[in-house]
């Protein structure tokens, strides 16, 4: 007999040999991705390179970076204007004017009106000080007048005729002639004079003048000469402060006095001045 070799059955499992995967799938179920056969098959499959997916992501990231920079690209602009201003010159100028006093005759030319020479007790003489704002740059001002009257320790007769021995007695008297003037505090005695300070109530515009402070003066009723013969001086000094920045005359003069005290205190400090 002819010996015919038998072909091996490809689906027949021999000892120590695994049969090929059946049609039902690897490991028994097609959907079982965790079977050993399925894992072995995936290991044999070629891996796909991700380059095709990376590039679009990089492009999107670049676009996002450009967009973020564009958030700070604002429209901007600048403009300016120069305002030309002018500061007033220090031309606050006031004068004390005594119109009638200035017209009194002075025959001997000694600078003392004849009516004011060798005055007797209770004798009156015209004296009419007022303040004029002569500034030309439109500077309004509040004004004050200081009247310095000589004093002495003397005996005199008062309004009732009684003799009074006084200390620092004012040798001349006068009456304030306008209610626009008011005395600020009590007179201060210094250096042989009683100094009275009077404030004018209204702002004094350029070219304007105050009413007269008083219109005449009188020697008091001295008892005898008491060594008071000779020349006596009555001084009237006007002070002005700008009106701008102050609501009232009192407010302006309070600021003036505060500034004066500060300057006096600075001058009293020891050491060299700057």
Position 199 pLDDT exceeds 90? yes
Query: How far is the C-alpha of 8 from the C-alpha of 80, rounded, in Å?
Result: 103
Q: How far apart are CA 133 and CA 135, in angstroms?
A: 6
What is the model's pLDDT at position 24?
Answer: 45
| Residue 248 token pair | 């009232």
Count the alpha carbons within 13 Å of 120 in the hemisphere toward its beta carbon: 1
Average pLDDT over residues 12-26: 47
CA angle 120, 122, 127 (to 5 degrees): 90
Mean pLDDT for the chain overall: 78
* pLDDT tens digits, one per residue of 204-238: 999 999 999 999 999 999 998 899 999 999 999 99
Q: What is the pLDDT of residue 113?
A: 92
Name the residue among 91, 103, 98 with its Cα closest to residue 209: 98
Cα–chain-centroid distance for residue 129? 37
What angle is formed at CA 59 by the lines to CA 53 and CA 60, rounded to 5 degrees?
95
Q: What is the pTM of this model?
A: 0.66
Q: Give the model's pLDDT for residue 78.
A: 74
pLDDT-derived band at 146, boundaries 50, 70, 90: very high
Measured CA to CA, the distance from residue 253 to residue 211 in angstroms comes to 19
């Amino acid at each position: 007999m002819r010996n015919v070799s038998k072909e091996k059955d490809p689906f027949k499992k021999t000892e120590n040999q695994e049969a090929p995967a059946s049609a039902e799938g690897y490991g028994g179920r097609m959907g079982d991705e965790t079977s050993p056969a399925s894992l072995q098959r995936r290991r044999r499959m070629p891996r796909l390179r991700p380059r095709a997916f990376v590039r679009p992501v990089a492009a999107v990231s670049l676009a996002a970076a450009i967009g973020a920079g564009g958030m700070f690209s604002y429209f901007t602009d600048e403009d300016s204007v120069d305002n030309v201003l002018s500061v007033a010159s220090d031309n606050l100028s006031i004068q004390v004017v005594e119109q009638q006093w200035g017209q009194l005759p002075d025959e001997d030319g000694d600078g003392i009106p004849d009516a004011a020479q060798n005055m007797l007790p209770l004798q009156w003489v015209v004296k009419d000080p007022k303040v004029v704002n002569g500034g030309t740059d439109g500077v309004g001002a509040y004004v004050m007048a200081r009247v310095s009257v000589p004093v002495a320790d003397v005996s005199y007769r008062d309004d009732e005729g009684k003799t009074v021995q006084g200390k620092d007695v004012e040798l001349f008297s006068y009456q304030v002639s306008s209610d626009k003037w008011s005395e600020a505090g009590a007179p201060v005695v210094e250096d042989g004079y009683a100094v009275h300070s009077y404030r004018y109530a209204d702002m004094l515009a350029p070219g304007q003048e105050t009413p007269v402070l008083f219109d005449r003066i009188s020697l008091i009723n001295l008892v005898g000469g008491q060594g008071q013969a000779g020349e006596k001086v009555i001084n009237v000094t006007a002070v002005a402060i700008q009106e701008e920045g102050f609501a009232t005359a009192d407010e302006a003069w309070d600021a003036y006095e505060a500034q004066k005290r500060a300057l006096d205190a600075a001058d009293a400090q020891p050491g060299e001045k700057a």
